[in-house]
Amino acid sequence: MDNLTIFYLSLLAVVAVWLLQVLRQAYFTSLRSIPGPWYTPFTALPLKLSALAGKRIFYIHDLHQKYGPIVRVGPDEIACASPAGLKEINKVPSFPKSQWYFRQAGQPRHGVFTMVDNRTHQRRRKMLYKGFGQGFLRENWEGRLREQIEAAVMRIEEEAKIHADGEVDCLKWWTCMTADISAMLFFGEPFGMLKTGEEPEFIKVVAKTMQGSIVRADFPWLYEILKRIPTENFGRIFRASSYVLEFATPAVLASKKEGGEANLFATMIANAEKDDEQLDDYDVRIEAANLIIAGSDTTANTLTYLIWAVLQRPALQKALEDEVDKLPADFRDADVEKLPLLGAVIEETLRLYGAAPSTLPRTVPRGGTSLGDSKYFLPEGTTVGCQSYTLHRDPRLFPDPEKFDHTRWLPGAPEFSEDARIAFSPWGGGARICLGIHIAKMELRLATVLFFRRNKGAKVSPSTTPESMEFQNYFLIAPISHRCMIQLKQ
């Protein structure tokens, strides 16, 4: 038998083994009975292509509308739109995160957002948590957060005065605000975006990171090819993680300072030392970079959709203006938190326009599960996740779900069902709930109050349409036009 024959026989054997594995996964596991398109037992390529196109949430949502609350979206991946399933995924100990997070981050060491092992994650989260507590933030950072928020509202007003029609892009300035706040908290001082109105190099690199992360997570072989193309543009997209970590050096320096120039990591490191834990300089870089990425566009986009939703409803706008106008001049976040209409508007915004409504991939733990009230058994190792985009639009949980209806959250409104309370998950849930939830809520409350106290009668610009505000979904959502033009009274 010559060498060429041996080569072809070996190749045939490899193909045969691969084909048997595909057929086994498709037809000889318990996943075979789960409904879905004919092709998903063999490939997840349509799902991955929808992610590249910024339409993943819509692809999965459409499958749920056609096939029900449990649908197969890939050979070993299941999408769930069941409150009972979400409850089981988030129970303690929760399902571990999928390796998808680590692949997407592209970092050589895990941070709190990408840690797969639950115990490791719990230790790191405990180390970080004190700095993110509501009481700690109000005592140590509320004043400085408010300074940045007031500066953002002033910049919106200043830019509006330049134009005869009072037009200004509020998304631009909310993004500057949240980026400056994140840099102040994690780097020790703001980027200065509110002063210049321009993106610093770090934020430009972060934007490239988000573009490359989808390719890295879903097409690792393609990513390995593209990152080797020796051009600056490709480098910033496909080698961005190393740039991000390099730019995070100020976080390390600030963590070693005391007093006003310190950042949240100074508190975290002090807590770690008390518990005999370690957070070295590289850990600080990873966590700072991840936290700034997580804390900037998320809140800015949600706040933009809140302003847009309210300005389209003049009666609601007038009522909100009246409510926030009654606050004393020296109001605090604790005062704002008690406003019922503001709270209702924020909750309804989070239901329809929460910044991260995509699937949060988890891995079925050892022993497998039937996933709450589902009749389908999922073997261990299966990737499963729920997306709040679909859960928040379930008419059985939220009547007339596509309608922005803040009254459903007001005191005296009919109580939500237990399933609706479980399904409402704009911050995630369980032990993996958003670490920065109190920072984001404080920003949303204070920015909304300050904007509507100072800018009564603002309007949506004619150039801002439902089409321009449609979602683009690269894990987070953002207006497809990447702007939101409003008009202030001159």
pLDDT band at 297 (very low <50, low <70, confident <90, very high): confident
Whether residue 70 is contained in a domain is answered as yes
Main-chain dihedrals φ then ψ at residue 472, nearest 5 degrees: -110, 130
Whether residue 262 is contained in a domain is answered as yes
pLDDT band at 303 (very low <50, low <70, confident <90, very high): very high
Task: Please tell me whether the peptide bond between 479 and the residue prior to it is cis, using omega within 30 degrees of 0.
Answer: no
Total count of domains within the chain: 1
| Winning range, highest mean pLDDT, from 27-41, 165-179, 310-324 | 310-324
Whether residue 302 is contained in a domain is answered as yes
According to the model, what pLDDT value does residue 19 have? 62
- Token look-up 């009522």 returns 319
Q: Worst-scoring range by mean pLDDT, 103-107, 125-129, 338-342?
A: 103-107
- Token look-up 């508190």 returns 267
According to the model, what pLDDT value does residue 403 have? 97
pLDDT band at 246 (very low <50, low <70, confident <90, very high): low
Mean pLDDT of 20-24: 60
Sign of the CA dihedral running 46, 242, 120, 427: negative
| 170 assigned binding-site residue | no
Whether residue 183 is contained in a domain is answered as yes
According to the model, what pLDDT value does residue 119 have? 82
pLDDT band at 226 (very low <50, low <70, confident <90, very high): confident
- pLDDT at residue 168 above 80? yes
Strand partners for 472 = 478
How do 471-474 and 476-479 pair as beta strands? antiparallel
According to the model, what pLDDT value does residue 115 have? 77
Mean pLDDT of 38-56: 91
Rounded to whole angstroms, how far apart are CA atoms 177 and 301? Answer: 12
Query: In the numeric block, which tokens belong to residue 366?
Result: 């050892």
Rounded to whole angstroms, how far apart are CA atoms 389 and 398? Answer: 12
Rounded to whole angstroms, how far apart are CA atoms 97 and 221? Answer: 22
Rounded to whole angstroms, how far apart are CA atoms 307 and 317? Answer: 9
Whether residue 290 is contained in a domain is answered as yes
Specify the length of the chain in residues.
490
Angle of CA points 130, 136, 140, to nearest 5°: 130
**Closest alpha carbon to 143 in 258, 257, 260, 256:** 260
Whether residue 21 is contained in a domain is answered as no
Mean pLDDT of 445-474: 95
| Winning range, highest mean pLDDT, from 9-13, 88-92, 281-285, 452-456 | 452-456
Mean pLDDT of 158-184: 92
According to the model, what pLDDT value does residue 470 have? 96
Q: At 225, which CATH number?
A: 1.10.630.10
Mean pLDDT of 292-319: 93
Contact 223, 212 (CB under 8 A): yes
Mean pLDDT of 78-85: 94
Rounded to whole angstroms, how far apart are CA atoms 474 and 476? Answer: 5
According to the model, what pLDDT value does residue 236 have? 60
Could you tell me the residue range of the domain that residue 110 belongs to?
A: 34-487
According to the model, what pLDDT value does residue 235 have? 59
**Tens of pLDDT along 59-74?**
999 999 999 999 999 9
Whole-number Cα distances in Å, 361 to 96, 120, 247, 401, 417: 9, 18, 29, 24, 26
DSSP line for 334-378: HHHTT-HHHHHHHHHHHHHH-S--SB--EE--TT-B--TT-S--B
Contact 268, 94 (CB under 8 A): no
Whether residue 440 is contained in a domain is answered as yes
Mean pLDDT of 21-35: 71
According to the model, what pLDDT value does residue 390 have? 97
Whether residue 143 is contained in a domain is answered as yes
According to the model, what pLDDT value does residue 220 have? 74
Rounded to whole angstroms, how far apart are CA atoms 31 and 82? Answer: 17
pLDDT band at 315 (very low <50, low <70, confident <90, very high): very high
